[in-house]
Amino acid sequence: MSFGGQTPTIIVLKEGTDQSQGRGQIISNINACLAVQATVKGTLGPYGGDLLMVDENGKQTITNDGATVMRLLDVVHPAARVLTDIARSQDAEVGDGTTSVVVLAGEVLKEVREFVEAGVSSQVIIKGLRRASQMAVNKIQEICVNTAKSNQRDTLQKLAATAMSSKLIHRNSEFFTKMVVDAVLSLDQDDLNEKLIGVKKVTGGALQDSLFVNGVAFKKTFSYAGFEQQPKSFKDPKVVCLNVELELKSEKDNAEVRVEQVSEYQAIVDAEWQIIFNKLEALHKSGAKVVLSKLPIGDLATQYFADRDIFCAGRVASDDMERVVQATGASIQSTCSDIRPEHLGTCEHFEERQIGGERFNFFEGCPAAKTCTLVLRGGAEQFIAEVERSLHDAIMIVKRAIRRPNIVAGGGACEMEVSAYLHGFADKSVAHKQQAIIKAFAKALEVIPRQLCDNAGFDATDILNRLRVEHRRGNIWAGVDFVNEGIANNLDNYVWEPSLVKVNAIQAAVEAACLILSVDETIKNEESRQPEGPPQRGLPPGAAQRVMRGRGRGMPRR
């Protein structure tokens, strides 16, 4: 059969499918990632601003924490979503440096965009970036300083202070660094499970009213009549933790019991009461003075315990119960019939006391304490929530530093040293087209000190030129001096960061950039297309309004 010399058109994809491919698609994806970078780069560093983010329900969040911003941004562009996912992985792995990953990945893409436009193969660019990334990581591991032999607490406090320098609480960093280091050192040093650090938020009061509890504290649970008659303070009490409901059970739906006489009915009722009384009697005989249960403790049990000077709390949250078990040495019981002395926990002091407008139960002086609680105070809920996010970053930094006690100087010093090294290596040892890729990556690393200067209102061009000169002279720890608006030896100034943060940030940023460069075709089904989605072709640089539906700084509501 002849078609007049023309090849017939074969339709493979469903009608309405949007298919974009080629060099223009890669550039479109790069521009989308630059729009995400533009949103968060203003939050970098000690003088970075905060973002006010409003979700579709009108809930407001004020933050400069990169992981929180990435989570709250409703990114619809598929390539830009890849960038946000990899940034979140940095938060999960290290706990800090999320903003740096996004800023660095965006800058790497910006630097290699001209190569894409010039027709250089994506695979050549990716190969060059991976080589540069590996060299950068090796250089960081070569220059990092091991602090294992120094005063551990002093080192950890300096690292926590650097992590807090860009946060809302940096004015109170001395107060909170001690709290963070105490919290991490109170954990089991083998697994360092940060989930055993409880954080409780109570509005009202000043930041300095926040408490560190070497034990467990949780908000008073729902209580029945008779609760106020119970004692609220004990010395060396025995603690029993239950997963038992101490309440009279109502009859099952549609249950049927046939009785011949009233006395038989009375026997059934008496049996129900006898069951719960046997449970309560067993708990009383165990010698426990504090009874906690994940399930409800009803009014009958509450009054029974009050008459015998025993404190009880039902409906205790699972995470709080787990931390009580870790701290007191108790074990959770699912029956009341066989409670032995080894099943009970203890603490030096139990007390219920008022914190702001809430009443809290405190277990302090626990013998097996491998957990602690931070009770945060502040004027507004958004403010306390940001304090919690800041402390989480500092806790994760301290945790990683205990495991890997290698540090580098912050304030752009590490990035400038690696950049100078890569420039020199590319000039001397790389002769083909990858030389330009490695030099582009080296230039992209300078975005960190440049953005730190821009956010602080410094002359970025002048300071970067001075930093380049210092690093060529061999001053490897020269970085931005935020106090005197200049440059300084940031290792001597105790602007320290774990080397793991830098290594992970570079690896994650390059991974994100390579992933985006390797995608040169996007196929979008009509049904799954977002009604507000951005056009796939020719996305102009900085078009954040069309790439993201989340409202960040300067983003109009759609």
Of 404, 421, 449, which residue sits at a domain end?
404
Cα gap 214→374, rounded to integer Å: 9
- Give the pLDDT confidence score for residue 259 in this predicted structure: 78
- Which domain CATH number covers 181? 3.30.260.10
Of 345, 368, 391, which residue sits at a domain end?
368
- Give the pLDDT confidence score for residue 6 in this predicted structure: 60
For residues 470 and 541, membership in a common domain is answered with yes
Cα gap 39→62, rounded to integer Å: 14
Q: Is 166 exposed, middle or buried (0-12, 13-18, 19+ CB in 10 A)?
A: buried
Cα gap 301→246, rounded to integer Å: 6
Task: Report yes or no on 383 lying in a domain.
Answer: yes
Residues in a beta bridge with 62: 52
Could you write out the three-class secondary structure of 267-279?
A: HHHHHHHHHHHHH
Task: Report yes or no on 119 lying in a domain.
Answer: yes
Residues of the domain holding 230:
216-368
Cα gap 157→202, rounded to integer Å: 25
Task: Report yes or no on 7 lying in a domain.
Answer: no
- With tokens 């799954």, the residue in question is 528
**Is there a contact between 348 and 216 (Cβ–Cβ < 8 Å)?**
no
Cα gap 519→83, rounded to integer Å: 13
Q: Where are the beta strands (DSSP E) in 246-379?
A: 290-293, 311-313, 332-333, 345-346, 349-355, 358-364, 372-378
Could you write out the three-class secondary structure of 401-449?
A: HHHCCEEEECCCHHHHHHHHHHHHHHHHHCCCCHHHHHHHHHHHHCHHH
For residues 312 and 246, membership in a common domain is answered with yes
**Is there a contact between 129 and 108 (Cβ–Cβ < 8 Å)?**
yes
CB atoms within 10 A of CB 533: 16
Cα gap 521→127, rounded to integer Å: 20
For residues 238 and 95, membership in a common domain is answered with no
Task: Report yes or no on 256 lying in a domain.
Answer: yes
Q: How far is CA 28 from the centre of its chain?
A: 30
Cα gap 505→284, rounded to integer Å: 56
Cα gap 316→333, rounded to integer Å: 14
Cα gap 299→302, rounded to integer Å: 5
For residues 390 and 428, membership in a common domain is answered with no
Residues 6+ apart with CB under 8 A from 522: 18, 19, 20, 21, 25, 29, 78, 79, 536
DSSP 8-state symbol, 305:
H
DSSP 8-state symbol, 1:
-
Tell me the pLDDT of the chain (558 aa) as tens digits.
445 556 565 556 555 454 556 677 888 888 888 988 898 888 888 888 888 888 888 888 888 888 888 888 888 887 888 888 887 888 777 777 788 899 999 999 999 999 988 888 889 999 999 999 999 999 999 999 888 777 788 888 888 888 888 777 878 888 899 999 989 988 888 778 888 888 999 988 888 888 998 889 999 888 888 888 888 898 989 999 999 888 876 555 556 777 777 877 788 777 878 888 888 899 998 889 999 999 989 888 999 999 999 999 999 999 899 989 988 888 998 888 888 888 898 998 999 989 888 899 999 888 877 888 999 998 888 888 888 888 888 888 888 888 888 889 988 999 999 999 999 888 887 767 788 899 999 999 999 999 999 999 999 999 999 999 999 998 999 999 988 888 999 988 888 888 988 999 999 999 989 988 887 776 666 654 444 444 444 444 444 433 444 333 344 433
Q: Rounded to the nearest 10 degrees, how much is the dihedral formed by the CA atoms of 303, 307, 309, 311?
A: 0
- Parallel/antiparallel/unpaired status of strands 290-293 and 311-313: parallel
**What total number of domains does the chain contain?**
3
Rg over alpha carbons for the chain, rounded to the nearest Å, is: 30
Q: How far is CA 15 from the centre of its chain?
A: 43
For residues 199 and 224, membership in a common domain is answered with no
DSSP 8-state symbol, 297:
B
Of 368, 388, 418, which residue sits at a domain end?
368
For residues 290 and 313, membership in a common domain is answered with yes
For residues 88 and 180, membership in a common domain is answered with no
CB atoms within 10 A of CB 211: 16
Model pTM? 0.77
Cα gap 396→404, rounded to integer Å: 12
For residues 382 and 448, membership in a common domain is answered with no
Cα gap 18→25, rounded to integer Å: 12
- Which domain CATH number covers 89? 1.10.560.10
Specify the 3-state DSSP secondary structure of 554: coil
Write phi, then psi, for 387 (nearest 5 degrees): -60, -40
Task: Report yes or no on 553 lying in a domain.
Answer: no
Cα gap 478→430, rounded to integer Å: 27
For residues 81 and 25, membership in a common domain is answered with yes
CA dist list (Å): 208 to 62, 197, 205, 212, 391: 21, 19, 8, 11, 14
For residues 273 and 320, membership in a common domain is answered with yes
For residues 386 and 257, membership in a common domain is answered with no
What is the residue type of 302? T
Task: Report yes or no on 558 lying in a domain.
Answer: no
For residues 293 and 425, membership in a common domain is answered with no
Q: How far is CA 219 from the centre of its chain?
A: 23
Please say whether the dihedral angle defined by the alpha carbons of residues 130, 132, 133 and 138, taken in this order, is positive or negative: positive
- Which domain CATH number covers 288? 3.50.7.10
